[in-house]
Structures are given as structure tokens and as C-alpha cells.
Structure 1
């Protein structure tokens, strides 16, 4: 899986703080800043997964990841201020958040990646998933 990251750095924002926000969630991200945009790439999803579990937001994360599916990728936004504080907060602000794109490589199954990142829960506990997910079911939710 490849993780692509992008965020506009507003004139009122400190570039280093935006970089720190991204690195708080994707610690190994390779980042460049050009023309007031942070662009990054990572392969390490472990901190993101850890935060989803510690914040007990797996069901929300699963919904967001499934809603963002388009072919072999899923996309979503993270709130910069929350990320700076080391927290995951999904964002709807397409102009101010951190844009994240998770891309399944050729030999990977996107739904398996999503299940690994955000497994289903029941009463706050992760449940075993031996389901076959039909893509049409996901599309009905959108």
C-alpha cells in the first residue's frame, strides 16, 4: 500500500507545524513543500491504526474508508489541528485538511487493507471478520 498525502499550507499556518501534524500520524512520511503545499508519501500505516484503536473510532474510520473507495484506492481528509495534537479526526474541510489517499498496489486487496486498518467492532470490541465483502454493498452505502 502506498499512502499519498497533500495539504495546503495557509498563510496563517506555520509550515513546520503542518509537517509535524502529518508526521504525528504517518511517522515515516517523506515530505516536500512546494508553492505552499505539503506533499508526502508513506508506506507505514501503523501509527494511524494505533490511534484509531486508542481513540475507539474504528467504526467511524471503517465508514469513512469505505465511503472514499474509488477503484484501487480510498481517500479522506484529516483535521490538521487534531493531527498536530497526535489525534485522528476525520475532516470534511476539503480546503484545510490533510488529504490522504490509500492506494492498494497491484497484488493487494483494498477491502482487506480496510479491514486490517479498521476492523468491525461490537460493543467496543473488535470482532472476527470472515465475511466476503461485495463491492456493490459498499456502493449502496454511498
Structure 2
């Protein structure tokens, strides 16, 4: 069951000169459900206020039993009511969700997912449950 939590989800990804912006939008869609996109000259930002938008990431975490790894990253990057993590852009291109420890692990740049909520601990708990 998806909890009713007030949260803001933002995904940021650079668009390299060699990349097609439409394909990068598809990459973001492979990661987040029901997000709104703003495509700039060299980046794309997807935003959502629905925790359900994270369901593909949550399913991947459960499928790969990577709760502890995500939990560590989310806790390490926690600052007040905000936390973040990186996903591999190339993996997302082939509809796979893969965590990056460092931005340079993804050769074409990562997707940075930022989560904000007054109930951030509950958001993290749901995501990594």
C-alpha cells in the first residue's frame, strides 16, 4: 500500500551534446512515474509530488534486495528534510534501475534523485521497506 505523504521528488539529469533530449526524457520515464518534465538546453528536470512516482525504484530495490544499500545512501545524504541518491543513466536507458555510489560511475552522468518531505524518515522507510 502506498502511504499518503506530502513529498517533493525531483530528478535531474544532464543532456550531453551527443544525446537526444527525447531519449533522455524516456530514460527519466523509465525511472519515475507520473512526473512533469522541464527540458532545458543541456539538462532535464522531472518533478512530482506523489510518492507513487517512486514505485519503479521501490520495486527495483525489493527485487534486488538492495534495501540496506539504498538506506545507507539515503541516511548518509540526509540533510534536514531532504535526501538524495544517484542512479546510472545508461542502466535506466535499458529500463534497469541501478544505484551509483559516485557521479562519475555513470559515464554520461548520473540521474540525481532528490526527495524532500517533512516526513522524510517515513518516505525513506517506505522506499526501502
Deviations 1:28-62 (A, max 9, x none): 11112112110110222212111111122111111
Report the counterpart of residue 32 of structure 1 in structure 2.
38
**Greater relative contact order: 1 or 2 (C-alpha under 8 angstroms, separation 6 or more)?**
2
Work out the number of aligned pairs and report it.
116
Unaligned runs of at least 5 residues, structure 1: 120-142
Unaligned runs of at least 5 residues, structure 2: 1-6
Q: TM-score, normalised by structure 2?
A: 0.82
Q: TM-score, normalised by structure 1?
A: 0.75
Query: CA RMSD for the aligned pairs?
Result: 1.5
Poorly superposed stretches of 4+, deviation over 4 Å? none
